[in-house]
Structure 1
Amino acid sequence: MSALERWRELRAATGPIDPDLLDALWADLEVVDAAAILGSWRGFAFPTGHPIEKALGASRWHGKRFDALDDAKPLICRAEDGTLHSDTTTGGGEASLWNVEFRGEVTATMVYDGRPVLDHFKRVDENTLMGVMNGKPRLVLADGRHFYFGLERE
């Protein structure tokens, strides 16, 4: 099965996903340059049971916006009135985009301003990215597992 077919299958999953499947898919995707991902992205969490899934749900996470390499908004959330805003409180500020090595590959990475957290990205296709949150283990790992998510270009 191709990486794109596996992506589609995992994207459609509603029950718990084994993080090993996400690790394997990540390994098969192409790296992407930070400058190539500028724009607005709608996000979703892969249902693995990672605690960050609940936190994002509670914040009404909509996605991410990359206005420039030095102007990234990691937590675009939907307010009660339906408007979108950058939640700088939960994320500890905003972020910037860099090309950073992760698991032996250099790929687009969002570096949070106020937290020791990095979101690495790989390309699924021109309008879809897979993301994995990395950083201080006490902040991002659950039972030794990373948080995986997807972004779809708006």
Structure 2
Amino acid sequence: MPTFSEALALGKITTTEALNIFDSLDTVDISAMIGAWKGAGFPTDHPLDGALEAYHWHGKRFETPEHVHPLVFNTVDGNTASINPLWMLPVVGWLDRMPIPKSEAVGMLFQIGLFLFSTDRSGARLRLTTYRGKKTATMIYDSLPINDIFRKVDNQTLLGLMDLKGMKNPFFFVLRRE
């Protein structure tokens, strides 16, 4: 089994290998989540691999356990904007059935129209849940059947796993504290 660092260097691993890495990591307390985090993919040949980057995903912002911005994107002018996760509902419905467009042109169009989807309102909350036998910080979306479960790589880095109801395999991502 590769380590977290080895997996990053490889550029892509299997879902089984990613789950083994995830299971080997320490849990995360909710208090350790508070703050802004920069996101990146952790490729496992999942349909979402590369999509967040194509759409200029920046990361997540945890203001309090009750006020979380799960989808923060880079704007054209170099700032960031949070979007309402409810806008992702059409994508969630066909995630396993159709490929997600990941072209530079589609990503740029999304970025230009980002103001249409932006919000200052929270779109999720944090709770401790037990997942794969360990109690750890979990981000629960307010309007989607999605939980993001976190494990600690180090004090500045988390490995996240998106658990979507009905999705065959989880989607993995990395968060680094800003």
| Shorter-normalised TM range | 0.7 to 0.9
Quick check: 2:4–2:21 contact (8 Å CA) kept in 1? yes
Structure 2 CA distance for aligned equivalents of residues 130 and 37 of structure 1? 12
Runs of 4+ in 1 over 4 A off after TM superposition: none
Encode CA deviations 1:43-78: one digit per residue, 9 max, x unaligned.
111122212234313431111110100011111101
Quick check: 1:39–1:65 contact (8 Å CA) kept in 2? yes
**May I ask how many residue pairs the two structures share in their alignment?**
145
Matches within 5 A, 1:56-95: 56-89=52-85, 90-91=87-88, 94-95=123-124
Q: CA RMSD, aligned part only?
A: 1.8
Encode CA deviations 1:89-115: one digit per residue, 9 max, x unaligned.
545661011101111211000000110
**Which sections of structure 1, spanning at least 5 residues, go unmatched?**
none
Greater RCO structure (CA 8 Å; 6+ sep): 2
Please state if 1:47 is matched with 2:43: yes
**Which sections of structure 2, spanning at least 5 residues, go unmatched?**
90-121
Partner of 1:148: 172
Letter matched to residue 71 of structure 1: H
Letter matched to residue 46 of structure 1: F
Structure 1 CA distance for aligned equivalents of residues 49 and 20 of structure 2? 20
For the pair shown, the structure with the greater C-alpha radius of gyration is 2
Please state if 1:132 is matched with 2:166: no
Please state if 1:12 is matched with 2:9: yes
Q: Secondary structure at the match of 2:6?
A: helix
More strand by share: 1
Quick check: 2:138–2:150 contact (8 Å CA) kept in 1? yes
Quick check: 1:91–1:114 contact (8 Å CA) kept in 2? no
Q: Secondary structure at the match of 2:17?
A: helix
Q: Secondary structure at the match of 1:47?
A: coil
